[in-house]
Amino acid sequence: MKRILVYSYRRNASYNALTLSLLREGRRRGWRFVWLSPSDAKDEPERVARIFEIVKPVGIVSTDILAIESILPPGFPVVLVDCPRRTCAAPVVRHDNNSFGLAAADALLGEETEFAVFGLADRKYCWSNIREKAFAARIRKAGCVCRHAHFDMWLDNPYLALEDIQKKLVELKRPVSIFAVSDWVADVVLMAAESLGWRCPQDFRLVGVDDDELICMRSPVALSSIRPDWELGGRLAFEALDVQMRGGKPKKEYLYGAVGVVRRASTRTPYVRPVDSRVENALAFIAAEYASPITVADVVKAMGCSRRLAELRFHQETGETIARALEDKRHARLLVELKHQNVDISALPEICGFRSAAALRECFRRRTGMSITAWRRANGMGVVVSPRRR
DSSP states of 153-215: --TTSGGGGHHHHHHHHTTSPSSEEEEESSHHHHHHHHHHHHHTT--TTTTEEEEEES--HHH
> Which residues lie closer than 8 Å to 283 by C-beta, 6 or more apart?
265, 268, 274, 318, 325
Rounded mean pLDDT, 314-335:
89
Residue 180 confidence class, pLDDT cut points 50, 70, 90 = very high
What domains can be seen in the chain, in order of their start residue?
3-94+230-256 (3.40.50.2300), 97-228+262-267 (3.40.50.2300), 277-378 (1.10.10.60)
Q: Nearest to residue 122, comparing CAs of 98, 155, 171?
A: 155
End-to-end CA distance of the chain: 35
- C-alpha to C-alpha distance for 299 and 279, rounded to whole angstroms: 10
Cis peptide leading into residue 201 (ω within 30°): yes
Residue 53 in contact with residue 34, Cβ under 8 Å?
no
| pLDDT at position 389 | 40
Q: Nearest to residue 187, comparing CAs of 173, 207, 171, 202?
A: 207
14-48 tens-digit pLDDT? 778 888 888 888 888 899 999 999 887 788 899 99
How much helix, strand and coil, in percent to the nearest 5, is found in the chain?
45, 15, 35
The whole-model pTM stands at 0.76
| pLDDT at position 244 | 95
- C-alpha to C-alpha distance for 196 and 206, rounded to whole angstroms: 15
60-101 tens-digit pLDDT? 999 888 888 889 988 999 999 987 655 568 999 999 999 999
| pLDDT at position 224 | 94
Q: Quick one: what percent of the chain has pLDDT higher than 70?
A: 92
Residue 94 in contact with residue 81, Cβ under 8 Å?
yes
Q: Nearest to residue 58, comparing CAs of 29, 86, 81, 87?
A: 29
What mean pLDDT, rounded, does the chain reach? 87
202-245 tens-digit pLDDT? 899 999 999 998 899 888 889 999 999 988 999 999 999 999 99
336-369 tens-digit pLDDT? 888 776 777 888 898 899 999 999 999 999 988 8
Cis peptide leading into residue 45 (ω within 30°): no
Does 133 score more than 70 pLDDT?
yes
| pLDDT at position 341 | 67
Residue 189 or residue 1, greater confidence: 189
Backbone CA torsion sign across 78, 79, 82, 85: positive
